[in-house]
Amino acid sequence: MTLFPNGTILGYPRIGPDRELKRALEANWRGRIDDAEFARRTSELRLADLQRLVELGLSPDDASLPLETAHYDHVLDATLTFGAVPPRLRDAVTHGLAWEWLLARGDVDRAPLEMTKWFDTNYHYLVPELDAETTFSLADTRIVDRFIEARAAGFHTRPAVVGPATYLALAKAEGVRTTELADRLVPLYRELAERLAAAGATWLQLDEPALVADLEGFTPVELQGIARSGARAVREGGLKVLLAAGYGESSGRVEALASDVDAIAFDLVRGGLPAVTDTPLVAGVVHGRNVWRTDLDKALETLRASGSDVSVGTTTPLLHVPHTLEPESDLGDELRSWLAFADEKVAEVVTLADALRTGTTSPAFDEARAALGSRAAAEGVRDGSVRERVASLQADARTRLPYDQRAQLQRQKTPLPALPTTTIGSFPQTGDIRLARAAHAKGESSDEQYREALQAEVRRVIDLQSDLELDVLVHGEPERNDMVQYFAENFNGFSVTKRGWVQSYGSRATRPSILWGDVSRPKPFTVEWISYAQSLTEKPVKGMLTGPVTILAWSFVRDDQPLADTADQVALALADEIADLEAAGTSIIQVDEPALRELLPLRASDRAAYLDWSVGSFRLATGQAAPETQIHTHLCYSEFNTIIDAIDGLDADVTSIEAARSKMEVVEAIAAHGYSRGIGPGVYDIHSPRVPSTDEVSELIGIAAANIPEQLLWINPDCGLKTRGYEETSESLRSLVDATRLARG
């Protein structure tokens, strides 16, 4: 008999089925509910979630229920729990929610903690800030308090906390390697365990995905050593340790810690069967990050092959999938039957655990088999004409005329001044646009009325850019609810959900589309907007598309073929749009790839193959563009310093890249690499409403010009402007244009 429960999940979405958490957070931030009411609402949400998990079949009394503690972010929870005060905020420490919100959101004088993507997901965590003086203390007892809260309501839960190796590897520090602080941090895990044990807890889950990733600056052995001390500390504190290292293949790295923990959760979808024999195993056979129904037969086979001391688990916390399929009636019965969101995945875990225990399979297995069969045979999942087109691609489909020759043709077709100015695409998405979209969606306004409202917005955006005397204009993207969903809505092979919200960070949630079939583009859908904008000005208006990798990264993608094949289908759909944009007279087309870095595999050995197909899909999308057509791309949200080669490989004529936020750091990497095509390092940060002065922009242009030949340099902001207001946008762009004039002089 295993000590560990038969079935568990590594974590559950915290945002709430109806985004209750988002609403509570925003209400508290706006002062509409006080801290006590916030505490009441979030407690209610946590207990309702636990109740639902029990209704779905997880046991309430054996630590199979994961305990959710975070208001905002689980890495922030560790920062708060261990009192890791950022050096720059040492004199600002308060407590309670005020302190939590200062770290998460900043205030007028102080920036919040930086946000970065959690491994290769689209979830953002708050980066801990440490230095040589950092000390730790059990400063916040939320994990203990919430255990007690749940226990009082009848749930014996399993608390979780980011383990010390992952915490330190993800932190940043001035003047010291973060891992040098391990000796100070690890004892706190013991203290936490003691407190939890005193409150009646039995297990603590240590989340250590850093063990299965290759993180710059750390060796696996170093991280294993820290994770091991953390696990030992927890055991000394009186708890059993579940070491959770999902998100990737272990290949021996996690097994090495087997004798220091009481159970290990492995990702058996991304990785193979581990070699552990004595340590109980939580077999991650239900995928925590995609939305597809599990092949229960295959999962059961894996479980039976995993040895005797095995329980059923998810590969990762279910943080990355929506709550439930229940409200998704619009998806249609067939597609719905292929899917499993968080609640349906919990049911799968329970079904598998029962089968493992009883040795017999329930009717749920037949249902799963039938759904899988229907998916494999369904119309649209395989589209003959799409497949034929991919299969018959010519060797030169991804190659344009050499850059020097193209550039000359482009200069002739579209003459531009030195240091051309442009923006990244979107302009403020005003309340009016959102209202117009909502009204149209509800059928309260006609297509014609909606189109007129959007056209008015395009006119406003063109007028503004004309007044500012920008060189390459955009239409402002008012017709797009989201830069990926808009494409999903216009391509075959995708469906969108009504309420499939997934937390992106803090109170922000996105609704990823579901890419379930072969992708093609039935008809042009961006051309009308660009053409309309172009009809209002003599200046060139950029066509604006989202690239194949970003469309994949921000959707739930089919798991029945390699990502590379799906990316090529999306690329061809985009190539069709590019051809139509060209036919309509567009001479500059931007294909955004902000997520290029996000999908970079966690293991260094997998990266070359990834960059090969991802860059290849971009090149397939743009490869058939006429040499006269200037292809732009845009990158943001990540540090790109380490993949400059791949960026070079995109072969775009012009690349705009987020740079202002990191004070032009990337410019040096680009200069060091040597770069011969157009490049626009962002000259102001669009993430805050602050208006940069002309001097500030000039300074950044100066850094760029010192590193990059002037004839390659473009001047643009860091990213799109859709989250900003009009007033700050026009003032900021004024500074950008003025600084450019000075630089030209």
Q: What amino acid positions are annotated as catalytic residues?
A: 687
Q: Is 696 annotated as a binding residue?
A: no
CB-based contact 506:479 (threshold 8 Å)? no
- Looking only at residues 707 through 726 of this chain, which bind ligand MET when binding is defined by CB under 6 A? 719-720, 722
- Taking the CB of residue 695, how many other CB atoms lie within 10 A of it? 11
Q: How far apart are CA 607 and CA 599, in angstroms?
A: 9
Min dist. Cβ of residue 723 to Zn ion (A)? 11
CB atoms within 10 A of CB 80: 24
Which residues from 635-664 bind Zn ion, rule CB under 5 A? 636
Under 8 Å between Cβ of 159 and 69: yes
Nearest approach, Cβ of residue 656 and Zn ion (Å): 8
Is 101 annotated as belonging to a binding site?
no
Nearer to Zn ion, 163 or 594 (CB): 594
d(CA 718, CA 690): 13
Could you say which of Zn ion, ligand MET, none residue 41 binds, taking C-beta under 5 to 8 angstroms by partner kind? none
490 burial via Cβ count (<10 Å: 0-12, 13-18, 19+): middle
Q: What is the pattern of x (binds Zn ion, CB under 5 A) and - over residues 698-727?
A: ---------------------x--------
| Gap between the Cα atoms of 327 and 331, Å rounded | 9
> According to the binding rule CB under 5 A, does residue 594 interact with Zn ion?
yes
Query: 94 CB contacts (<8 Å, ≥6 apart)?
Result: 102
DSSP state of 416: -
Least distance in angstroms from the C-beta of 636 to Zn ion? 3
Radius of gyration for the chain, computed over Cα atoms and rounded to the nearest angstrom: 26
Please say whether the dihedral angle defined by the alpha carbons of residues 437, 733, 107 and 143, taken in this order, is positive or negative: positive
Q: Which of ligand MET, Zn ion, none lies near 426, with the C-beta cut-off 5 to 8 A by kind?
A: ligand MET
The single residue among 425, 428, 517, 623 that binds ligand MET, judged by CB under 6 A, is 425
Using alpha carbons, list the distances in angstroms from residue 100 to 40, 44, 71, 150, 161. Answer: 17, 20, 9, 22, 17
Name the minimum Å distance from CB 719 to Zn ion.
3
Q: Which is nearer to ligand MET, 289 or 475 (CB)?
A: 475
Residue 425, binding choice from ligand MET, Zn ion, none, Cβ under 5 to 8 Å by partner class: ligand MET
Whether residue 442 is annotated as binding a ligand: the answer is no
Q: What is the secondary structure of 638-664 as a DSSP string? A: S--GGGHHHHHHT--SEEEE--GGGTT
Task: Work out what residue 739 binds among Zn ion, ligand MET, none; the CB cut-off runs from 5 to 8 Å by kind.
Answer: none
Shortest distance, CB of residue 650 to ligand MET, whole angstroms? Answer: 15
Nearest distance in Å: CB 179, Zn ion: 32
Tell me which of 171, 210, 527, 544 binds ligand MET, using CB under 6 A: 544
Selected from 49, 140, 194, 592, the binder of ligand MET by CB under 6 A is: 592
292 among the known binding-site residues?
Answer: no
Report d(CA 447, CA 453) in Å as an integer.
10
Measuring CA to CA, which residue among 673, 616, 603, 618 is closest to residue 640? 673
Helix axes 20-29, 35-55, angle to 10 degrees: 170
Give yes or no for a contact between 413 and 587, defined as CB atoms under 8 angstroms apart.
yes
Q: How far is the CB of 636 from ligand MET (least distance, A)?
A: 5
Least Å distance, CB 480 to Zn ion, is 13
The footprint of ligand MET on residues 459-498 (CB under 6 A) is 483
Closest to 596 in 3D by CA, of 574, 575, 611, 608: 611
Q: How far apart are the first and last CA of the chain?
A: 79
549 near Zn ion (CB under 5 A): no
Please say which residue, 343 or 658, places its beta carbon nearer to ligand MET: 658
Q: Is 267 known to sit in a ligand binding site?
A: no
Q: Is 122 a binder of ligand MET (CB under 6 A)? A: no
Contact (Cβ atoms closer than 8 angstroms) between residue 160 and residue 11? yes
Applying CB under 6 A, among 124, 156, 235, 634 the residue interacting with ligand MET is 634
- The reply on whether position 426 binds ligand MET by CB under 6 A is yes
| Residues in contact with ligand MET, shown as a per-residue x/- string from 395 to 424 under the rule CB under 6 A | -----------------------------x
Task: In whole angstroms, give the CA distance from residue 678 to residue 632.
Answer: 9
Total residues binding ligand MET (CB under 6 A): 12
Which of the choices ligand MET, Zn ion, none does residue 483 contact, using the CB cut-off of 5 to 8 A by kind?
ligand MET
**Rounded (5°) CA angle 522-525-526:** 145
**Interface residues with Zn ion (CB under 5 A)?**
594, 636, 719
Give the annotated binding-site residues for Zn(2+).
Answer: 634, 636, 658, 719
**Interface residues with ligand MET (CB under 6 A)?**
424-426, 483, 544, 592, 594, 634, 636, 719-720, 722
Give the annotated binding-site residues for L-methionine.
Answer: 424-426, 477, 592
Give the annotated binding-site residues for 5-methyltetrahydropteroyltri-L-glutamate.
Answer: 22, 122, 554
